[in-house]
A and B are shown apart, each in its own frame.
Chain A
């Protein structure tokens, strides 16, 4: 066996930059704007349309939910201003340059997770799983090796055990399999053509009206 080479250091792109990369590849994301302060956030919220979500955004911030750096369902100027002040105050010196991300609030009862990773044996893979609060307990995830064919993408969806969750559910239509497959193929193309990317995380890939929308994204890249 060859001796393991020292892995080169990696860093994460900000949520805004990560989303821009996956959006360019063909993944659907909610409309969003990056602003420096509360007033900017109010103006952006008007352009995007209420209700909105506000998040603290920076290159070094990877675990926003755990740190309470997300404010959901903001319906007016006052709520946006208050949330902006709280989030900016919560920034730590090690976060570096921070901004506020204002995004359209997307509603849906179902969450998937999708992503890309390097497997030690098989190399670059695309992953799809059931997301949400029971994701860890269900551990319902499946993989395919990059590059995915269209058939691979559809079969990857079929591989999930919790198929009932993908049908018509609580007044929402069945999941649009073609749209989920398109998301998986977009991830596969992006991962195949970007050697600097180490991993991609779309978590959650929210299902709104049956369509998948990436409301958070995180890309990890290898330092040159």
Chain B
């Protein structure tokens, strides 16, 4: 399929002119209600049509009694919640109205066994005949933030961003969207692939790889019906953009659960691992890591080499970060360049560490952190900076602000100063990362422990990922470097 044909085919699903919810319901406990509610609540820009056999109003929207009442060509996508027995006639009626994509939330197919699988094959064959792109069945929904489309039977509405998600588990789509909300790192597209009757997780990747709204793809898979096709398609996709994969069913217990969940049997996990390396995929080993790696690719540039420089205002964090980088097979705890040390010497009292990690040892004045971070980021030998200790001052300011001595004792001024400094450091990290096109990764426990702290809050508001520990920042950096080497960005 040509790129243009591919984009057009998937545009019906991700950028439809209008959406029909077939089987919309006025009963808040039914999927047909939830789908309509979520679609309307997210503020989808196109026209929405709700069908209900009984007619009447749902959420202030007048319903149509059948698809036949939808104006010709007004909708591209149908979201189906009606029972399996109704679906064939419904799809034929949709095709007659020019609808070119169907998201099927309806369950009762392959997940039930042999008979269900046959019904699923018939469904796929019918959609192929009608020229309808079929997503699902047994899926939870489709999200496309550039058009504020959230046609799904779960929460939440994620922020806009550049991560595209395809998952064999609808629950994990929901989990990823929740992580997007928590971190502020947003989503471009998301689809719960359900039973993958006609469109597999790797099929969506072809679209994501061409999609200009998407910088990184994130997928969750369990069983793979065609391992070779998965290998070829993911390899092609990751040659264009980073692809993070998380796989369930890697143990025999998990495999049994996966077989009853969405299909196919899994092979030795180490074969999958080797396949990932061979295809150039970024493999995550937990759901949190999967999102975090995707968010890292979405918000940070790739390093051009292995040299990491660590700047810290907290000594212990510097030590364990040095340990973690030294244990890495990819990254290098670079020796501090002489000219960088000399430049730091000019700005700091003699008690600073004078090596990498650069521990400023509490010797910073108003502009020292700013100047040192700039010097490190602009140094040509430095490929990436890990910046530790952001938010410490505001953390103290918060205590002072809510303690028994506020206001008075000069506390207003210092509290305000602390908050301003941490916002300033965060803004600088963002600015330097952009200016020098190299990763400046911020790690502080305050990301988790005090999310409203002006340091991490500034990064989150800018949609940039900060890390709750330096181990996680360095782990992400390893994956960024691996992909950079594979794609030729890193030569060193």
Chain A residues packing against B (C-beta within 8 Å): 1, 119-123, 125, 141-145, 152, 155-156, 159
Contact = CB atoms under 8 A, between A and B. Distances in A.
Contact of B265 (A121, A123, A159): A121
B263 interface: yes
The 9 closest A-B CB pairs, nearest first, are A143-B274, A121-B227, A122-B227, A121-B267, A143-B271, A119-B267, A119-B271, A120-B267, A144-B274
B270 A122 contact: no
9 contacts: A1-B264, A121-B266, A122-B267, A122-B271, A123-B227, A143-B271, A155-B277, A155-B278, A159-B273
| Dominant SS among interface residues on chain B | helix
B484 interface: no
B228 interface: yes
Interface size class of B (residues with CB under 8 A): 20 to 34
Contact of A121 (B224, B270, B273): B224
A113 to B, nearest CB: 13
Nearest to B270: A143
Contacts of B54: none
Given A121-B266, A122-B227, A145-B231, A1 B274 contact: no
B332 interface: no
A155 B227 CA distance: 21
A120 B224 CA distance: 10
Interface in B324-365: none
Nearest to A142: B274
B173 to A, nearest CB: 23
B370 interface: no
Contact of A145 (B263, B266, B274): B274
Contacts, number: 55
A123 to B, nearest CB: 6
B87 interface: no
Interface string B254-272: 0000000001111110111
B225 interface: yes
B17 interface: no
A119 B278 contact: no
Given A122-B227, A123-B227, A145 B275 contact: yes
Interface centre among A1, A121, A122, A159 (most CB of B within 10 A): A121
B471 interface: no
A159 B278 CA distance: 11
Contacts of A143: 268, 270-271, 273-275
Contacts of B228: 122-123, 145
A122 B234 CA distance: 13
Interface centre among A120, A142, A145 (most CB of B within 10 A): A145
Contacts of A120: 265, 267
A88 B231 CA distance: 49
A88 B272 CA distance: 44
B107 to A, nearest CB: 18
B143 to A, nearest CB: 29
B117 interface: yes
Contact of B227 (A119, A152, A159): A119
B117 A122 contact: no
Contacts of B224: 121
A122 B265 contact: no
A2 to B, nearest CB: 9
B463 to A, nearest CB: 34
Contacts of B270: 141-143
Contacts of B271: 119, 121-122, 125, 143
B491 to A, nearest CB: 15
B249 to A, nearest CB: 11
Contacts of A125: 271, 274
A159 B117 contact: no
Interface centre among B225, B270, B275 (most CB of A within 10 A): B270
A1 B113 CA distance: 10
Contacts of B264: 1, 121
Contacts of B266: 121
Contacts of A152: 278
A119 B267 CA distance: 7
A139 B114 CA distance: 37
Given A1-B263, A121-B267, A143-B274, 16 more contacts: A1-B225, A1-B264, A119-B271, A120-B265, A121-B227, A122-B231, A122-B267, A122-B272, A125-B271, A142-B270, A142-B273, A143-B273, A143-B275, A145-B228, A152-B278, A155-B277
Contacts of B227: 119, 121-123
Contacts of B275: 122, 143-145
